[in-house]
Structure formats: C-alpha cells, structure tokens
Amino acid sequence: MLYLVPNWSENIEWDEDRLFTLSKFFIDQNFDHQVLLTNIFPFLRYELNKEGYEYTKVLRLFDFIQNIKVETGHPITLEDIDVPQEVDKIFTPTSTILYAKGYIIGKVLYNQFGFPALTRYYLENGDVCEEVYDDRGFVTYKRYINNNNQIYQVDYFNELGKHTLTHNEQGVTVEKEGSIFLKNKKYNSIENIVNEVVKSFIEKKFKDVPEQSISLLTTTDKLILEQFQGINSNVRTFHLLTSEKIDYKEIQNKKIITDSQNLMKDSEKNYFHVPIFYPELDLGDSDSESLMKIFCKISNAIDDKTLQLLVQRVIEDDQVGLILEINNPERLKRVKFLQTLLIEEYFGIDLNSSDYQKVHSYIVAQKMKKLFKKDIDSVKEIQKTAKWTSYVRAVNANLRIQYVNHLENEELRALIKNSRIYLDFDENYSILRHSIAVSSGIPILSIHESELISEGKNGFLLELETINDKLISYVDYFICELRKWNEALVESIDIIEQYNSETIMMKWREIFQSYEK
C-alpha cells in the first residue's frame, strides 16, 4: 500500500501542489493509494469537493490527536454560534460584526463557501481569541493572540466540545478528554505528537497485515521530514522534492524523487526523475489574433531596463501587445510610471493633459461601441491639430499594455493561450507554468533551465547578465517570423508526445519496485 504524505494547509494552491496532482493522477490510473494528512485542516471536505477530489482517499491523522471520531457533519451557521442575546449583529459583505454596549466585541468571518470560518473575539486585556470551525460542525480549536500579533496558546477540541489538547510556550498538554492513543501527557511540540501517532499507525498496519508492503511518499518540507523521523525501517520511504529551498544535507541519505531535474542541478546525489506537471495538447488561438501579445512574468530578479525594452517594443509596433504579471505593488507602481515616461517621450505629449484624457475616452468608447455625441464633440477641435495622430497612437499604446497579478491557474491558462510568447522572469522556476506554455504551443524565453525547452527550437535560455542584449532579438525571432513560430509549435507538440500517462505510470511502478533495504 502506498501512502502519500502532503503538507496541505488552508492557504494551499491546489493546482500547484505536487502530491495533490499526483494523487489525482493515481486515481485516474486506478493505482491504489491513500493520503495521510498530518496537519489540521478545518474545511478539508469542502476544499476537496471544490477540486472534484474523493475525500475518502484522505486519512486525517490529526483527528486521532484531537480525539475526533466523526467523518461527516454539516458546517456551523451563524445561528449556531453561541452569542449572548444582548449582542447586536451588523452584517457586512464579508463578515458579521458583534456589537455590544457601544463596542465591537467580535467579528464572524466567512469563507468562500459562505459558512463561518472563525469568530474573532476582542478580549478586555487587548488580546484576541479566534474560534475556528470545522466543516463537520464544531469548534476545532481556539487560538489566543497578543498585542504583538503572536499566538501564545492554542486549545484543541473534539466534536463533542471537549477540550483535548493545550499548546503553549511550555509545550503540549494532553487534557483529560484527550486521545487514549497518546502515551504521554506532556510533549515538547505538536511535531513530537504527530511523530508518535505516525509510528503507531505504521506499526499497526504491519501488525494487521504483516505480508503487506508499505510505501511512503512524503514531501521534503522540513515540517514533514521532522514528523516522519525514526519510523519503522521496513517501510519503503521516498521523498518528493517540493521546494527549491532545500538543505541537501537533510536529504543526503534519503531516496529522492523529482519532477524537475532543474531542482536537483546543484546536487550530486542520485535521484529518480518522473514528471508530475507534464504538458498535454491544449493549443491556444493566438495565431488567429491580430495583436501579438507577449506574456511576461516579472520578479525582482529583473531590472527596469528589461521592462523598458519590452514597453518600448510595444510603443513602436502597433501589432504588438504586452501582458505584465507583477505581484509586487511597489514594482507595479514603478513600471506604470516608467510606461508613462516612455510614451510621453516617444510621442511628445503629456498623458495628464485634458486633451489626452478626451482622446482616451473617445477611443475607449469607440472600441466598446458606446460612442456618444458628447465623446465626438469633445475631440473635434483636437482632430484639427498636428498632435491628433500622436494622441491616438499614445492611447492605443497604453491600451496594448495590460497588467495582471496573483493569477489563478485557469486565468493563467487563458492568458497564455491567447499570447504569442511566454517570458518567464520569475524568481523561482515553475515547471507547471512551462507545462502550460508548451501545452498551448507557444515558445518560452526563460531565465531558468527547463526540460520543456529545446534551446533555439521552442525557446531560449536567458542569462541575467546578458538578458538586455538578447531579449528583443529573441522575442522578434518568434513573433516577427511566422515560420519560426510554427517551428516552435511543432517542437512543442513533439515534446508533448514524449509524455503519456501509461509511460509515466510505468515509471512510478518501477520506482516503487526498485527500493532496496
């Protein structure tokens, strides 16, 4: 039996989680496995249902620690929360404010599913108590936060409301109603408890089915590695590399699997390589668009000169557009300021002038087919001036530059499928993003080595030291010559055809069968 051990938490990006993606793949391939979840996750059932995932595949080890014995139930509603009658409720779009005696005493916060996620109570001493709800219909824990926004105590409860654990600076105390599976009453940390429960779980599995081979596939997150220290040596344990920020000493004697050889390029250690985020044919329609869009993911690794070159390329060519994905608000502000300066200098106009604003409103209304007489009248005199053409071109240049941030993967896919080229200037390498670009059939320029890029065929690797010297020539190589772009598309399809589910599943079977004690 194979057990997958992820590091899932409430802020998870499901599409980017390797073990979640792998579990879905195994389900599609009818490969028997189960997920061991060691973290607490209050709305797990609803989250998994949203992703179309089978909840019964998950064994929640933290339930044993909390002494929770139910699998089903209905989430708590506002009416279920124990609030005194004299407290008034003020409803807002995202919360319900609790108001009493002229003061706000608390706030009920809702999750994406419309249910209360937690109630935040403001205590008389200035501290905050947050009461967090499980989707099975009970308070799962209460955390206490001081004025410095530090959590100093967490009390855990079971489905009956019984206090089972206390976690504070002194460690973890198992209360009277705590789990009978825990051998001690005091522990140094939650990780110590999880480690004990993991060992007990595995020992029981061997005892119940001694002839059954057990395999574990965990992440390389430090938390998970700590939780699985010292387990039964008969367990075949593998570790899936899930982060670029890994201390190779920590995995020195472990069997490592990675879906990206790029993640192991700085290590001399032997490892298994098998794809998880692999490309599948999902071609876009950018070749039928009149505007050739450059999609670029920007990070702090890229200087303003690089951005200046891209913006300048758009200003000079009416057929080229630019989508900039920038998550840093300060960087976004600076890039927009740079864009304004470049457009003003190129066209010799002032973007803050009333004439420019009138022309902008006129062109936007015209594009939206909502042009009114007032819009036409506002630009009649400007049309007679020598600057009319410059204003029009400046407005169109501005409209061809689009900014996006914090994209969901479906949004990302849609934008990439509508782009002619993907520029990966992110700080961290994402094989998922490269997979999406190759699936869409568009070339990639990247500052990261990638097994999905055939150098000079469907993309180029750019060095930060020389990026400004080569960037525009590489961009033009693909967007100015249709033949080169089509050749990149053919190469991407060739890469896609190297990946198929049967071959990948065979590789996983070989890995699990290759284990030597």
Residue pLDDT, tens place only, 136-171: 999 999 999 999 999 999 999 999 999 999 999 999
Say how far apart CA 285 and CA 27 lie, in whole Å: 31
Q: Identify whether 73 is part of a domain.
A: no
Q: Identify whether 508 is part of a domain.
A: no
Choose one of 273, 302, 329: the last residue of a domain: 273
The verdict on 268 and 372 lying in the same domain is no
The verdict on 439 and 290 lying in the same domain is yes
Q: Identify whether 290 is part of a domain.
A: yes
Q: Identify whether 281 is part of a domain.
A: no
Domain count, the chain: 3
| 352-372: pLDDT as tens digits | 999 999 999 999 999 999 999
pLDDT at 254: 82
The verdict on 365 and 397 lying in the same domain is yes
pLDDT at 517: 45
Provide the pLDDT confidence category of residue 249 given band limits of 50, 70 and 90: low
Higher pLDDT, 225 or 434: 434
What number of CA atoms fall less than 13 Å from residue 482's CA on the CB side? 5
Provide the pLDDT confidence category of residue 263 given band limits of 50, 70 and 90: low
CATH number for the domain spanning 485: value is 3.40.50.2000
pLDDT at 210: 57
The verdict on 87 and 130 lying in the same domain is yes
The verdict on 345 and 443 lying in the same domain is yes
**Which stretches of 285-430 are DSSP H helices?**
304-316, 329-347, 354-367, 373-378, 380-383, 388-399, 409-417
The verdict on 248 and 291 lying in the same domain is no
CB-based contacts of 262, cutoff 8 Å, min separation 6: 429, 431, 448, 449, 450, 451
The verdict on 121 and 252 lying in the same domain is no
Choose one of 126, 155, 178: the last residue of a domain: 178
Phi, psi for residue 346 in degrees, rounded to 5: -70, -40
Check: CB of residue 419 under 8 Å from CB of residue 284: yes
Q: What is the mean pLDDT of residues 126-133?
A: 97
pLDDT at 212: 58
Say how far apart CA 145 and CA 258 lie, in whole Å: 39
Choose one of 273, 304, 335: the last residue of a domain: 273
Ramachandran class of 511: left when φ > 0, alpha when ψ lies in -120 to 50, beta otherwise: alpha
Amino acid at 296: C
Q: Identify whether 502 is part of a domain.
A: no
Q: Identify whether 185 is part of a domain.
A: no
Q: Hunting for tokens 């938390």 — which residue is that?
A: 223
Check: CB of residue 136 under 8 Å from CB of residue 159: yes
Range(s) of the domain holding residue 324: 286-497
CB-based contacts of 350, cutoff 8 Å, min separation 6: 344, 356
Q: What is the mean pLDDT of residues 194-220?
A: 81
pLDDT at 231: 81
CATH number for the domain spanning 205: value is 3.40.50
Q: Identify whether 318 is part of a domain.
A: yes
The verdict on 253 and 112 lying in the same domain is no
In Å, how far are 121, 172, 473 from 177, measured between CA atoms? 25, 14, 69
Q: Identify whether 19 is part of a domain.
A: yes
Rounded to two decimals, the pTM is 0.86
The verdict on 334 and 225 lying in the same domain is no
In Å, how far are 90, 101, 141 from 98, measured between CA atoms? 7, 11, 20
Amino acid at 249: K
The verdict on 82 and 25 lying in the same domain is no
**Does the structure show a pLDDT above 60 at 503?**
yes
3-state secondary structure of 394: helix
Q: Count H helices, E strands: the chain?
A: 16, 23
The verdict on 290 and 412 lying in the same domain is yes
What mean pLDDT is reported for the chain? 92
Q: What is the mean pLDDT of residues 114-143?
A: 97
The two tokens of residue 388 are 């009319």
The verdict on 48 and 101 lying in the same domain is no
